[in-house]
Structure 1
């Protein structure tokens, strides 16, 4: 029997994320006695919850052959606006009026902020036929500037126990952020696998011209996808802000890189049309475990950036190699 690497290539390609995660966990468990502990397990899950939220939205965008570089800045702005409204409300001295916000009201406004910015990304891309890279890069700068203007460069703190529960609380023995990210993943899996919109998303990524000829409303689908990406970035911003009990003006910097890395490592193609939400979750876990392991090993933060950069590069190389073999 002639057994070669080609025989196992389909299985290796399908399970490459799980294999990489197993090897990474095995190496870290050998190098650090603090890695395989219950406390560290929950710590990793809590940390990756933010990236899972952002990466779920990023996956929807990438499936349409797009990209969203603004998620980190949108995260920061949504968190800052939520914290500002919750802490200070909106004073209107000229009208002798003060508008206060409940916890739910501030959260809704924060998510709406992310949704509007995401919608604007989609509108700019579809209305002016801009490359997604350019449109979302511009939004990255715009949202970061708006965050600085809103916070005046200072953190907003003292947000109350009710709000911090969202990022630090436990429910049925599981951290609340894990519940939030799990719910988002479940809804996204349902959207992509069981709905017409999900089929449209894959069709656009596979061939936009063919999807248009098939009657798919390209503009409406892309607007929805980018709006969801912004909304989920805002949810990530709420989790970060509540966990720190502080809205930091520089929050979310480089989060877009972790998000793209999770999507690509999870098996999605940057050319669109191929990938899955569950694959992205695996990618987010790998990134989270890698970050956690580097911290436990006392690796310099500067070297951590270098390592993650090489991981992203390797993932893209593997993606291109798989695409060539499939062709």
Structure 2
């Protein structure tokens, strides 16, 4: 499509088209970088290119991938969700308490996910109705949720979870770890929701220019609500999965994961200025960070270097995103 015909499109479609073009090129770059990194680690260590390590890599990647996809929905609207790590900790604790108390597994999962939806709505209420900056609102809920989880457990670990629930995370289906299958099952509908639906176009439009989106008939407030609900819902899914993986409920679980989700999303091409992002990008970004951490551990690299590398990656990508924005103005 030519630039002239693209300019004639309505604001929601035009914003989504620009994001799609940028995201496709970045995804190819990230994929190439991943392949190079895998080849380098395969040569430099004997244990990386093994079935057991790749299986472990997929399990490690699953949590960050799901959170990164949810975070991307928010970042596309030019917002941010700092509460996702605390949502993981609280929901993992709540489902552990319910399961330990004899509540059926299916009911515990449903209730936990509903709590995630409610937490996302609370974030959106503060941003939309109280007009608080997303950074402040989600920082406040992060602090409150973390403290609430410690309060209801008195800082104690919750054990006694059903064996079937715990074993789910360690099992495989068709040779693929169950945790990574959940990533696929989440990524597919999120892809169609973001890239093939009217609401997805609305997200990009709101992130590009809220006023232009409103004049185009977009319900900006409703779109922001849905973005934060998706983010918290996916964080609560991670809460369920992490409770299954570690077999206990700990309120401090997920501490710092909000930064990993933001890093994965940004490395995957989501712009902190809004209107740019994809579903595939954060999946590749999360895998890149997981591979770096996995490779560093296998090479006995000081773990503090992992954070330095992640920070440098974010700086470089945000810098090039700024250059791209200047050229397109």
TM-score by length of 1: 0.90
Q: 1:62 aligns with which of 47, 63, 75?
A: 75
Which consecutive residues of structure 2, in runs of 5 or more, have no partner in the other structure? 1-21
In the comparison of the two structures, how many residue pairs are matched? 308
Distance (Å, rounded) in 2 between the aligned partners of 1:69 and 1:143: 11
Residues 27 and 280 in structure 2, CA contact (< 8 A), matched pair in contact too? no
Q: 2:30 aligns with which of 12, 17, 25?
A: 17
Change in CA separation of 1:172 and 1:149 when aligned onto 2, cut-off 3 Å: same
In structure 2, the residue matched to 1:246 is: 248
CA RMSD of aligned residues (A): 1.7
Which consecutive residues of structure 1, in runs of 5 or more, have no partner in the other structure? 1-8, 89-99
Change in CA separation of 1:71 and 1:14 when aligned onto 2, cut-off 3 Å: closer
SS of equivalent residue, structure 2 residue 80: coil
In structure 1, the residue matched to 2:19 is: none
Check if 1:102 corresponds to 2:104.
Answer: yes
Distance (Å, rounded) in 2 between the aligned partners of 1:290 and 1:58: 21
Q: 2:56 aligns with which of 19, 43, 67?
A: 43
Shift of 1:65: 0.8
TM-score by length of 2: 0.89
In structure 2, the residue matched to 1:278 is: 280
Check if 1:141 corresponds to 2:154.
Answer: no
In structure 2, the residue matched to 1:97 is: none
Shift of 1:292: 0.8
Shift of 1:12: 6.3
Query: Where has structure 1 moved over 6 Å in runs of 4 or more?
Result: 9-12
Residues 76 and 270 in structure 2, CA contact (< 8 A), matched pair in contact too? yes
Change in CA separation of 1:131 and 1:23 when aligned onto 2, cut-off 3 Å: same
Shift of 1:147: 0.9
Distance (Å, rounded) in 1 between the aligned partners of 2:155 and 2:26: 46
Distance (Å, rounded) in 2 between the aligned partners of 1:306 and 1:192: 32
Shift of 1:135: 0.6
SS of equivalent residue, structure 1 residue 155: coil
Distance (Å, rounded) in 2 between the aligned partners of 1:271 and 1:185: 23
Q: 2:174 aligns with which of 172, 175, 179?
A: 172
Deviations 1:291-314 (A, max 9, x none): 111111122333322222222222
Shift of 1:173: 1.7
**Residues 115-134 of structure 1 correspond to what in structure 2 (within 5 A)?**
115-134=117-136
Distance (Å, rounded) in 1 between the aligned partners of 2:322 and 2:36: 22
Check if 1:82 corresponds to 2:92.
Answer: no
In structure 2, the residue matched to 1:201 is: 203
Shift of 1:109: 1.4
In structure 2, the residue matched to 1:189 is: 191
Residues 89 and 254 in structure 2, CA contact (< 8 A), matched pair in contact too? yes
SS of equivalent residue, structure 2 residue 290: helix
Residues 80 and 150 in structure 1, CA contact (< 8 A), matched pair in contact too? no
Deviations 1:119-161 (A, max 9, x none): 1001100001111111101111011011101221111123122
